[in-house]
Structure 1
Amino acid sequence: MSSVAPEGAGAHRRLAATVRESLRELAVHLSLLNHQVGARLELKDADIDCLDLVNRLGPLSPTALAKLAGMHPATMTGILDRLEKGGWVARERDPQDRRAVRVRALKDRVGELLGAYSGMTTAMNEICAEYSVGELEVIADFIRRSARAGQASAEELREV
C-alpha cells in the first residue's frame, strides 16, 4: 500500500469520495438492472440473488444458502419453492448424507438468465477492453476487497 503525501491528501480525499459515490451509483443501477431482469423472467429480486449464489457456489444446503443471502431459513424456503416451481433449481438429497438436502441450479434455464444480462455483459467486455492487464488486476482487487467489506458490514448489521 502506498501512503499519500500531505500535499496530495486533499486530492486523495476527493477521489476517494468520488469512488465511494460511484460505487453507490453502480449499486443502484445494478439493483435496477436486476429488478428489470426479474420482471422479464418473473423472478423477485431476492430470487435472483439466491439463484446467483447457487449458480456460483452451489450446490448448497438451504441453510448455507440462507446464511450467505442473509435471510431467515423460513424466508429461504419460500424463495426455493418459487425457484423450484419455475424450473430454476432442484432440491436433491446430499450424496454424503442422505438426510440432508442440497440445492442445485438447473442448467436448462441458464441461457435465459445469461440472455437477460447480455447487454450488461457486452458493455462490461467493451469497458474492460480499454484497460491493460495490470489496470484490470488493480480494478479486480479493488472490487474484490470492496465486496468483502460490504459482506462484513452486512454481517455486522445482522449481528446487532
Structure 2
Amino acid sequence: MDSIELSGDPRHRRRLTTRIKGSLRDVRSQLALLNRQISLRLELRDIDIDCLDLISAHGPISPTALAKQAGLHPATLTGILDRLERAGWIVRERATGDRRAVTVRALPDRLGEMYGLLSGMNTAVDALCADYTPDQLELLATFLENVTTAGRSATADLEKS
C-alpha cells in the first residue's frame, strides 16, 4: 500500500479512530458488567475474579508476581488469596527448591464453574470470528495485542508519575 492509500482523508481517519476508541471503552464496560454478573453468581468480588483469571492464565505464580500483574499491594493480595483459598478456587503450594517460596495455582474443577458462565460469551465470539477471513482475524488479533501493549505502557507511565 502506498502512503496515500494508508492515510486517506484525515477527517475520516480521525472519525474512525474516535469510533475505535469509543468501541474499546464500550467493550471494557461490557466486559466489566459480564464479570460483575459472574462474580455475583460465584459469590466472589470483582477483584477476586480478576486475580483468579490471572492465576489461571499465568499460574502457578508467586504472590509477588501476581500482585505486580494485578497492580495490587501485597497485603491486599493476601486477603484476596485467603478468600479464594477458603472458597476452594486456589491452592498455595511450596515452590520446589525453596521451602520459603510459595506459588499459587487455580483448581481446575472450580474453574469449570467460571468457564461455564463464560460459555455464552465464548460462543458469541466464536460465531463473530467465523465471519472473518484468517487475514482479517490476524489483523484484529494484532490490533488487540497492540492495544494491550499500549495499555501496559500507559499504566507504567502513570505509575511513574
TM-score by length of 1: 0.95
Residue of structure 2 in register with 1:27 after alignment: 28
Residue of structure 2 in register with 1:103 after alignment: 104
Inter-partner Cα distance in structure 2 for 1:101 and 1:58: 12
Residue of structure 1 in register with 2:89 after alignment: 88
Residue-by-residue CA offset, 1:9-40 (whole Å, 9 max, x unaligned): 11111101100000000000000100000000
Task: Go from structure 1 to structure 2 and tell me whether the alpha carbon gap of 1:7 and 1:135 turns closer, same or farther (over 3 Å shift).
Answer: closer
Inter-partner Cα distance in structure 1 for 2:31 and 2:145: 16
Any runs of at least 4 consecutive aligned residues in structure 1 with deviations exceeding 2 A, and if so which?
1-7
| Unpaired stretches in structure 1, ≥5 consecutive residues | none
Task: Go from structure 1 to structure 2 and tell me whether the alpha carbon gap of 1:3 and 1:146 turns closer, same or farther (over 3 Å shift).
Answer: farther
SS in 1 for 2:12: helix
User: Aligned pair 1:36/2:59, yes or no?
Assistant: no
User: Aligned pair 1:117/2:118, yes or no?
Assistant: yes
Q: CA deviation at 1:150?
A: 1.0
Once the two structures are superposed, the pairs formed by residues 56-75 of structure 1 within 5 Å of their partners are 56-75=57-76
Task: Go from structure 1 to structure 2 and tell me whether the alpha carbon gap of 1:2 and 1:124 turns closer, same or farther (over 3 Å shift).
Answer: farther
**In 2, are the aligned partners of 1:92 and 1:102 still within 8 Å (CA)?**
yes
Identical columns (%):
51
Q: Which amino acid aligns with 1:147?
A: T
Task: Go from structure 1 to structure 2 and tell me whether the alpha carbon gap of 1:96 and 1:129 turns closer, same or farther (over 3 Å shift).
Answer: same
Q: Which amino acid aligns with 1:105?
A: A
Inter-partner Cα distance in structure 2 for 1:149 and 1:128: 24
**In 2, are the aligned partners of 1:61 and 1:102 still within 8 Å (CA)?**
yes
Q: CA deviation at 1:95?
A: 0.6
Inter-partner Cα distance in structure 1 for 2:8 and 2:63: 52
Q: Which amino acid aligns with 2:83?
A: R
| Unpaired stretches in structure 2, ≥5 consecutive residues | none
Once the two structures are superposed, the pairs formed by residues 4-19 of structure 1 within 5 Å of their partners are 8-19=9-20
